[in-house]
Amino acid sequence: MQELKDKIILSAHKHFLIGGVRWLDLDLVANDCCITRKLLGQCFKRNELIDAVIKSKIETYQRAIAAIETEKLEPIEEMTRILNFTESLGYDLSAVLLWDLRRHYQENYALIDSFITGSLKKIFKENLTKGINRRIYRKAINEEMLTDTYFIAILALIEKDSNNLQSELKNVRILEMNSNFLTGLLAEFKND
């Protein structure tokens, strides 16, 4: 039964990215999973499915951050992993999904926001501090301001996606921003 529930959660997430949460067609999810709508209803009620999808994503994100923390990488390698993770958020979160959650499912939006402003920002800022202390990044960096600025920019790129499909251009822009950010840390260090 858990395997079926996992399959339903994956399908629902795919449809959330395309049409948001409010317009989720449970018949499409059932068809994707090769089950009846009745069986889908026995596994999840609509709001339970929304909760399950968001909680599943947050658990996946938390495991990814925990894996980065436990690897004990050098600061630049760790920052690369963190930036790669933020790129994956661009694929996992669409503007329409975030808009629906923020407006109609505030508890679920709060889970995503709490992860970003909590765990993700924490590891990012700790990495900057570690890099500065080890003289890998330039010492004049204001970790708090740089962390806040980075996440404002990333969320703006994710939420700027104006169409209902994942924007490949958005993901390219996130990749470019991350590349420039990482290069800037090192280039600034050379000039310090």
Tens of pLDDT, residues 10-27: 999 988 887 788 888 899
Percent of the residues in the chain that have a pLDDT greater than 70, as a whole number: 93
| pLDDT beyond 60 at 122 | yes
Hunting for tokens 């310090």 — which residue is that? 192
pTM of the model: 0.85
Distance CA 192, CA 184 (A): 12
Distance CA 21, CA 39 (A): 20
CB 147 within 8 A of CB 124: yes
CB 188 within 8 A of CB 138: yes
Q: What is the pLDDT of residue 20?
A: 82
- Which range, of 48-52, 77-81, 83-87, 139-143, averages the lowest pLDDT? 139-143
Tens of pLDDT, residues 127-141: 999 999 998 888 888
- Name the band, by pLDDT with cuts 50, 70 and 90, for residue 188: low
Q: What is the pLDDT of residue 18?
A: 78
Tokens found for residue 3: 């395997």
139 backbone dihedrals φ, ψ, rounded to 5°? -75, -20
Tokens found for residue 109: 């939006």
- Name the band, by pLDDT with cuts 50, 70 and 90, for residue 109: very high
Mean pLDDT rounded to a whole number for the chain: 88
Name the region of 26 (left: φ>0; alpha: ψ -120 to 50; beta: rest): alpha
Distance CA 14, CA 166 (A): 10
Q: What is the pLDDT of residue 148?
A: 93
Distance CA 162, CA 167 (A): 8
Q: What is the pLDDT of residue 164?
A: 42
Q: What is the pLDDT of residue 160?
A: 72
| pLDDT beyond 60 at 159 | yes
Q: What is the pLDDT of residue 165?
A: 42
Q: What is the pLDDT of residue 31?
A: 95
Name the region of 138 (left: φ>0; alpha: ψ -120 to 50; beta: rest): beta
| pLDDT beyond 60 at 87 | yes
Strand (E) or helix (H) holding 101: helix 95-104
Distance CA 173, CA 79 (A): 18
